[in-house]
């Protein structure tokens, strides 16, 4: 009788262990030879999944470059505008006449002459209020195209954007010759309107 009781207890214990080991979420392993239950060792992947995710640190973002550089042959649009690698670039800090204004065509061809056969380097600084790319543009020998156009008397310094960088390079009568560009800088756009109305009337009479 005692033997039957012992066998019954052993069988019941075996059934209990079998059921326990198959329970979902059980984190124990079968007993070791010493009879002590041990927690399973996690693999590297399991430790990574159970660890808390790190919060994003904005200070770890790579800084945005202050200057983007374009280099290549330049197609000249007018006295202060180029196209390099399909990007329209406005010369930094200066104002040249529009093509339909006095000295406009002369300014364009002067810039064409400067850029001919050259690889122009454009260091982009910003975009203007019209969405155009503004850049400091240099010839292969290091000459600044904005400075060269001002020295030729075919562009004037625009202090609002240049901080007066090119003012000392202006020839004495530059603002008198480029009076419409000067008017734009001073906010006198009414002079532009009157000039363009006269030009339109002249074409009709011709």
CATH number, domain of 143, equals 2.40.50.90
In a domain, 86, yes or no: yes
Tell me, what's the pLDDT at 41?
55
Q: Residue 60's pLDDT band (boundaries 50, 70, 90)? A: very low
Nearest CA to 180 among 190, 166, 170?
A: 190
Q: Within a domain: residue 96?
A: yes
Does residue 54 register a pLDDT over 50?
Answer: no
Distance CA 52, CA 75 (A): 56
Residue of 20, 38, 90, 148 marked catalytic: 90
Among 21-25, 71-75, 114-118, 193-197, the minimum mean pLDDT is found in 21-25
Share of the chain above pLDDT 90, in %: 54
* Known catalytic residue at 143: no
Is residue 91 within 8 A of residue 146, CB to CB? The reply is: yes
pTM of the predicted structure, to 2 decimals: 0.66
pLDDT of residue 57: 34
pLDDT band for position 78 (cuts 50, 70, 90): very high
Q: Exposed (0-12), middle (13-18) or buried (19+): which is 76, by Cβ within 10 Å?
A: buried
- Name the catalytic one among 20, 55, 61, 98: 98
* Range 77-84 average pLDDT: 96
Is 90 considered catalytic here? Answer: yes
Catalytic residue among 38, 123, 132, 197: 132
Work out the burial of residue 167: count CB atoms within 10 Å of its CB; fewer than 13 is exposed, 13-18 middle, 19 or more buried. middle
Q: Which domain holds residue 172?
A: 68-186
pLDDT over 50 (residue 62): no
* Residue 29 belongs to a domain: no
Please, what is the average pLDDT of the chain? 78
Does 202 qualify as catalytic in the annotation? Answer: no
Query: Considering the domain boundaries, does residue 157 fall inside one?
Result: yes
CA distance 93 to 131: 16
Q: Assign residue 164 a region: left if phi > 0, alpha if psi is -120 to 50, beta otherwise?
A: left
The residues near 116 (Cβ < 8 Å, ≥ 6 apart) are none
Beta-carbon contacts of 139 under 8 Å, excluding residues fewer than 6 positions away, are: 114, 115, 118, 120, 145, 148
pLDDT tier at 179 (50, 70, 90 boundaries)? very high
> Regarding beta strands 120-127 and 68-72, do their DSSP bridges make them parallel or antiparallel, or are they unpaired?
antiparallel
Cβ-contact 120, 72 below 8 angstroms: yes
Q: Is 140 within a domain?
A: yes
For position 205, what pLDDT does the model report? 81
Indicate the number of domains in the chain.
Answer: 1
Residue 111 neighbours by CB under 8 Å, 6+ apart: 76, 78, 79, 80, 82, 96, 145, 149, 154
105-119, 135-149, 181-195: which has the minimum mean pLDDT? 181-195
pLDDT interval class at 94 (50, 70, 90) = very high
């Amino acid at each position: 009788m005692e033997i039957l009781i012992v066998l019954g207890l052993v069988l019941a214990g075996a059934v209990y262990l079998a059921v326990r080991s198959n329970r979902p979420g059980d984190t124990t392993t079968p007993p070791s030879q010493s009879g002590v239950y041990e927690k399973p060792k996690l693999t590297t992947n399991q430790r990574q999944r159970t660890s808390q995710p790190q919060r994003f640190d904005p200070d770890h973002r790579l800084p945005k470059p202050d200057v983007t550089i374009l280099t290549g042959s330049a197609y000249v649009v007018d006295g202060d505008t180029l196209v390099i690698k399909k990007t329209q670039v406005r010369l930094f800090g200066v104002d040249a006449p529009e093509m339909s204004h006095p000295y406009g065509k002369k300014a364009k061809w002067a810039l064409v002459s400067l850029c001919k056969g050259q690889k122009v380097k454009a260091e982009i600084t910003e975009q203007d209020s019209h969405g155009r790319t503004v850049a400091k543009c240099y010839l292969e020998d290091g000459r600044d195209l904005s400075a060269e156009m001002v020295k030729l008397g075919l562009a004037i310094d625009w202090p609002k954007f240049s901080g007066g960088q090119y003012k000392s390079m202006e020839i004495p009568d530059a603002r008198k010759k480029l009076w419409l560009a000067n008017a734009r800088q001073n906010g006198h756009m009414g002079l532009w309107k009157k000039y363009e109305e006269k030009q339109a009337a002249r074409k009709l009479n011709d």
